[in-house]
Structure 1
Amino acid sequence: MRELAALSRFVGNTFAYWVLFFAVVAFLHPAWFIGLKGSIVPLLGLVMFGMGLTLKLEDYAEVARHPWRMALAVVAQFVIMPGVAWLLCQAFDLPPELAVGVILVGCCPSGTASNVMTWLARGDLALSVSITAVTTLIGPLLTPALIWLLASAWLPVSFMDLFWSILQVVLLPIALGLVAQRLLGTRVRHAVEVLPLVSVVSIVTIVATVVAASQAKIAESGLLIMAVVILHNSFGFLLGYFTARVFGLPLEQRKTLSLEVGMQNSGLGAALASVHFSPLAAVPSALFSIWHNISGAILATYFKRMSQKEER
């Protein structure tokens, strides 16, 4: 079990490299992954179940003392990223399927990768996990509502279909994870130790499947999509940080808000796009999954140096 836990830590720490590697392999050999499309939704549900196993109410006592920080983070998350996505689609005059894909990833809640980056950056980890949990829990309402509001100009959007999908693939697995944790107590510790391995395998499979299914379209407009994804992610980091600064938050919370706003649950975006729109609409989420782990690691390193300089 120790060897498996060690492997899980290694794979979790090198997450971005695995995503990038298998995305390239899927692009070069799409036939290897195209048959895995049906596994996207179950794999994402497995990741959400794992998140439920790790949630503990007692970790958030400090966060509860400053509820306005949480409120600010949630508003920033669901205003900045959807708004920037819509503006980028207008500015680049993206075709309908790509525009819907960019807006979809912008409307998703923050991703669990941001928690790891916040820890590496010496940010407020309890606040980070709380933001991820709260935005994920209210996502079934806000995500489909925002997609309907912003993306229906490009393609037809069904609020109820998206709502039920998120309910099944996010809220239900998290609730089952919480119940398992309550019933099994400390016995879930071994499962939690291998969660990074399960999460990485799941997200890598989702990204590789999406890339394989859209290989021709990526080859045709890959640079454009990548430019939009990089700008989207960068504006999320910048606006998240400066929002926290404008409201007078300390450095720890400024770093946390920056990473939480800029890093999305791109696995959810890819799953929703694949089920409700098309493989091409899932490409922005897949590329976002690759890029935000690379950019997040770079930014976390920079933020960590900020903390060290402040300590000196």
Structure 2
Amino acid sequence: MDSALSTVGLPIALGIIMFGLGLSLTPDDFRRVARHPKAVTVALACQLVVLPVVCFGLVTAFDLDPLLAVGMLLLAASPGGTSANLYSHLFRGDVALNVSLTAINSIIAIGSLPLITNLAIAHYGLDDEVSLQFRKVVEVFVVVLAPVLVGMLVRAKSPGFAQRADKPVRIASAVILLVLVLGILASTGSDAGDYLAQVGAAATLFCVVSLVVGFFVPRLVGLTPAQAVASSFEIGVHNATLAIYVAVEVLDDTAISVPAAVYGLLMFPLAAVWGVVLTRVLLPGEGRRRAASRTS
């Protein structure tokens, strides 16, 4: 990627996205965790334990290049993205649960993301080439959490502005991610086709598995349909921009960012198709029941 795009544009892009997340958060979102511990625990277990294991199985089965394999596991370790809330709203999920999960998972990722990524780096013997050191981890999450805190402060001081800014910031976030994806693929030059051929199927399957696991595991343990939908999108719609930032700015290797870029391109249409499957096939009567309960 162009140096100006990576060193200036990428941190600004991530800052805008995380500021948008902050605009949707209140302190009560963190307190809500105590009121719904089972839903939060199940979703986080899927996110932090099941997905990395599934992802490792996929990269092993596809025999990915070590740099791409590390990129996939970095993606698996990344928390849910801000678009998860939008998909949950569109497809009758528990949006409040989404917001709580995103908030909590973003904090937990301070420890879990470097742990999983460094384990992957060590497994593939890349210690001499790339590393995710504690100082760099701190730098990343200053970039991540500071805009979130600013967004929360703006919402607290001016809720009307936060509400008006929500949609433009979400649109800007999607546009920013698209620009980053195109920039990364362009920067890989002649290797772009090979990378896409290697990682495209793995990224697609990982997205599908994430969405499916995120729905069916909560349902199997007795969570409500709305909670399961929220969990599905929270687990299936990763913060690809964060993964790209870590790969490019911290690990200093564009190849590691390719899986997140490909995933970022695929997850929006795949999540939309999954939402239709949820509402039309798996939970066709849920929307009517909820509407009836509101009018009764």
Unaligned runs of 5+ in 1: 1-29
Q: Kindly state the Cα deviation for residue 110 of structure 1 after the two structures are TM-superposed.
A: 0.9
Give the letter aligned to residue 191 of structure 1: A
Task: Flag the 1:251–1:106 CA change in 2: closer, same or farther, 3 A.
Answer: same
| 1:107 match | 77
Give a deviation string over 1:20-79, Cα, whole Å, max 9, x none: xxxxxxxxxx9xx78523311221111101211221244677664222211211121111
| 2:63 match | 93
Task: Flag the 1:186–1:293 CA change in 2: closer, same or farther, 3 A.
Answer: same
Does residue 241 of the first structure (1) align with residue 218 of the second (2)? no
Give the letter aligned to residue 231 of structure 2: L
Counterpart CA distance in 1 for 2:71 and 2:270 is 20
| 1:212 match | 186
Counterpart CA distance in 2 for 1:162 and 1:254 is 35
| 1:67 match | 37
Does residue 287 of the first structure (1) align with residue 256 of the second (2)? no
Counterpart CA distance in 2 for 1:151 and 1:160 is 15
Counterpart CA distance in 1 for 2:239 and 2:181 is 12
Counterpart CA distance in 2 for 1:57 and 1:35 is 36
Does residue 259 of the first structure (1) align with residue 233 of the second (2)? yes
Counterpart CA distance in 2 for 1:90 and 1:285 is 17
Give the letter aligned to residue 51 of structure 2: M
Does residue 309 of the first structure (1) align with residue 279 of the second (2)? no
Q: Kindly state the Cα deviation for residue 185 of structure 1 after the two structures are TM-superposed.
A: 4.2
| 1:297 match | 272
TM-score (norm 1): 0.83
Q: 2:105 aligns with which of 132, 135, 145?
A: 135
Give a deviation string over 1:130-154, Cα, whole Å, max 9, x none: 1112111221111111211233222
Give the letter aligned to residue 290 of structure 1: L
Give a deviation string over 1:237-266, Cα, whole Å, max 9, x none: 222222112211122222222222122111
Give the letter aligned to residue 187 of structure 2: A
**Stretch moving more, 115-124 or 194-203:** 194-203
Counterpart CA distance in 2 for 1:188 and 1:246 is 37
| 1:152 match | 122
* 1:194 alignment partner, SS class: helix
Task: Flag the 1:167–1:231 CA change in 2: closer, same or farther, 3 A.
Answer: same
Task: Flag the 1:159–1:86 CA change in 2: closer, same or farther, 3 A.
Answer: farther
RMSD: 2.2
Q: Is the 8 A contact 1:63 1:126 kept in 2?
A: no
* 1:71 alignment partner, SS class: helix
Task: Flag the 1:62–1:37 CA change in 2: closer, same or farther, 3 A.
Answer: closer
Q: Kindly state the Cα deviation for residue 180 of structure 1 after the two structures are TM-superposed.
A: 2.5
Unaligned runs of 5+ in 2: 290-296
Task: Flag the 1:220–1:264 CA change in 2: closer, same or farther, 3 A.
Answer: same
